[in-house]
Amino acid sequence: MWASESADETQQLRQHIEQMQRDLLQMQQRLDDLQAEKEREQAERERMEQRVAEVAETAEAAEAAAAEDPDGISFGGAVRLNYGWRDYDDQNKDRGGDFELELFRINVNGTVGNVILDAEWRRYNDFQAIHHAWVGYDFSDELQMQLGITQVPFGILPYASHSFWFTGNYYLGYEDDYDTGVMFVHTPSDDWTFHYAFFKNPEYANDARADRYSFDLVTAGDQQNTETNQINFRAERHLNFGGDVRADFGLSLQAGQMYNRATESNGDRWAVGAHMDYYNGPWNLRLQAMRYEYNPKNPDGVSDDFVQKGAFAFPFLIAAKANSYTYSVSRSFNVDWGPVTYVNCYNEGTYVDPDVSNSSESIQSVTGCAVGAGGVYAYFDWIAGKNMWFAGGDGIGLDATTAGKWRSRFNVNIGYYF
């Protein structure tokens, strides 16, 4: 009996040991599996680290290549809305003004190889137009060439004004004007900038087209003069008085022909101007004086005292000879008004003194502020004009029925620039 019990205990002990051995084997297998998984994770981690290093190296190489070869074309543009109230338009006043889409534009600029590209196309309510389109090349750090539709180098560049409305020189064709030709920009030092240019004709060779951004001679009716073969020279001296005080003083010369389609003869035209652009911290003062003359070869019966300009789908007459004086004073503010970070307030004026018979002075005054908030830029302008085109006048320098009357308009232009 005792022998039987001893055998049973031995058997149970053997089974228990075997079970423990099986458990140990399972635990060993589990440890082996965990070790293998750990090794796989380590290998995956090493592969990921290697991939990150490769990506970083590729990015650094791309950045270095971009720095050495800055080729690439970028696209931008703007969408603008405009509100206008005019005291000389009864129906507009009855409606409380008009608010509408004013502009959609596309900008393209960049470099391909060593060639610079810069172009802008605009769509207004009633027409579309090229603003500018040129290719360029930097011969050196001091000399650049621009070929195509580029800004005419006359007066304060790029603008003599801060307002949306510009100075009266814009409507005469001597501010932010673009023609087709070739221009060289020469900056021999930080103290001087020179412009030399030849323009074969305006941005459109079709001189009957008033659907354009720049104000040029246009043909319609008895007025058959068009611009051709124009040369420009501009010199500007840069002075730095220390701190935030600096000033630019410049001289501009322009001369060209004007071809009359009726007489098939060339007249001549010229303009000369002097300007100052002075900064003292947030304050800016811009002054400009100029003289222009058009000497057309009109047929008998057509007065030589007036020539016809056109843009924005409207032709109008200006005095063929006049002196023009403009000023712009502004004060900028950096603010923190929610999304608004920048405000610039200004007052700008133009006085055009015609030097022909049957004429009258033209005056324009613009007071307002421009407000910047991110990509949104808005102008709030009060425009007052006497005998001034786009401000209730029939032209510029005319002895018209509106010559002695002041007209005004309130204009708000809100644009998103991207």
* Predicted local distance difference test score (pLDDT) of residue 68: 53
Domain ranges of the chain: 1-69, 75-417
* Residue of 279, 274, 284 whose CA lies nearest to 328: 284
* Predicted local distance difference test score (pLDDT) of residue 33: 74
Specify whether domain 75-417 bears CATH 2.40.50.100: no
* Residue of 337, 358, 365 whose CA lies nearest to 401: 358
Q: Average pLDDT by consecutive 10-residue portion of the chain (418 residues)? A: 60 77 78 72 61 54 52 95 97 97 98 97 97 98 99 99 98 99 98 99 97 98 98 99 97 99 98 99 99 98 98 98 99 97 98 97 99 98 97 94 90 98
* Predicted local distance difference test score (pLDDT) of residue 7: 67
Calpha distance 164→133 (Å, rounded): 22
Reading phi first (left if > 0) and then psi (alpha if -120 to 50, else beta), residue 124 is in beta
- Pairing, β 265-280 against β 283-295: antiparallel
Calpha distance 243→280 (Å, rounded): 9
The model's pTM is: 0.83
